[in-house]
Structure 1
Amino acid sequence: VDVRYTGLLGVLLPTSQGLELEISARLPMASPKIASLSWGQMKVQGSTLTYKDCKVWPGGSRAWDWRETGTEHSPGVQPADVKEVAEKGVQTLVIGRGMSEALKVPPSTVEYLQKQGIDVRVLQTEQAVKEYNALVAQGVRVGGVFHSTC
């Protein structure tokens, strides 16, 4: 039997005519857990980087650079800040507003996500990380944007 990795879950099997038939299925990527959180520092499972603010989604994470969208504490998290994560096929998106909840989340951002059928949870960052990790443990396709300072 000729077995090759296809980038998906799959194998090549001989058929009665000697031809190969590929059987494959896409397995959903799991959301990575937040491994640690302290003032100004976040670590995500599967990444060697330390983030100040970060975006996470099933299969990945990256730094959340507010300069990309001109985000400030007020008016806060914009639809443009969550668009990338929303487009990763998440069921739930958790927003961490900071340790002292200084980061605002306007109704327009929540409405943007809800219109896409995404459940939104807006919490203080320590609580947001707990909620996010609990959802990961339940197998939910969850994403998040987290602010780790004020």
Structure 2
Amino acid sequence: MSSPEIIFLSWGHMKVKGCATSYKDCKVWPGGSRAWDWRETGTDHYPGVQPADLEEVLKKRIDLLLIGRGMNEALQVPSTTLDFVKQRGVDVRVLQTEKAVAEYNKLVSQGAKVGGVFHSTC
């Protein structure tokens, strides 16, 4: 099962191929996607992405996780969160969201088992 391509990205708006819904922030993995609702885990720009934000995607048996920090990189990613990912045997890359989505789509086109969490505003 392949990861879905992200076909559109602008400030506050993302569209994933094969999904009728648009997202503000989203999670993607081989075979699916859904909105990334920060309220589920109490995430905010600081201290940033929490391990609980990533568990769902990590359970999808990915080899690489991309984290998009926002258009202006306001979303923090603590070292403890990166350690959490690496301890599960998954490589992780943290980039500005436009760069993260471009990298994600490149890896999808190569058939990689990739997942992502992307913040589309600040």
Same topology, TM > 0.5: yes
Aligned position for 1:11: none
Q: Which has the higher contact order (CA 8 A, sep 6+)?
A: 2
CA distance in 1, matches of 2:36, 2:25: 5
CA RMSD between the two structures: 0.4
Aligned position for 2:50: 78
Higher helix share: 2
1:50 aligned residue (22, 42, 50): 22
Aligned position for 2:71: 99
CA distance in 2, matches of 1:120, 1:84: 15
Q: Map 1:117-128 onto structure 2 (within 5 A).
A: 117-128=89-100
Displacement, 1:95?
A: 0.1
Question: What's the TM-score, normalizing by structure 1?
Answer: 0.81
Q: Radius of gyration: which is bigger?
A: 1
Q: Deviations over 1:44-68 (max 9, x none)?
A: 0110111000000000000000000
Which ranges of structure 2 fall in alignment gaps of 5 or more residues? none
2:35 aligned residue (63, 74, 84): 63
CA distance in 2, matches of 1:103, 1:80: 15
Moved over 4 A (4+): none
**Residue identity (%):** 68
CA distance in 2, matches of 1:95, 1:112: 13
Aligned residue type for 1:56: V
Aligned position for 2:114: 142
1:41 aligns to 2:13 (yes or no): yes
Aligned position for 2:85: 113
1:120 match: secondary structure = strand
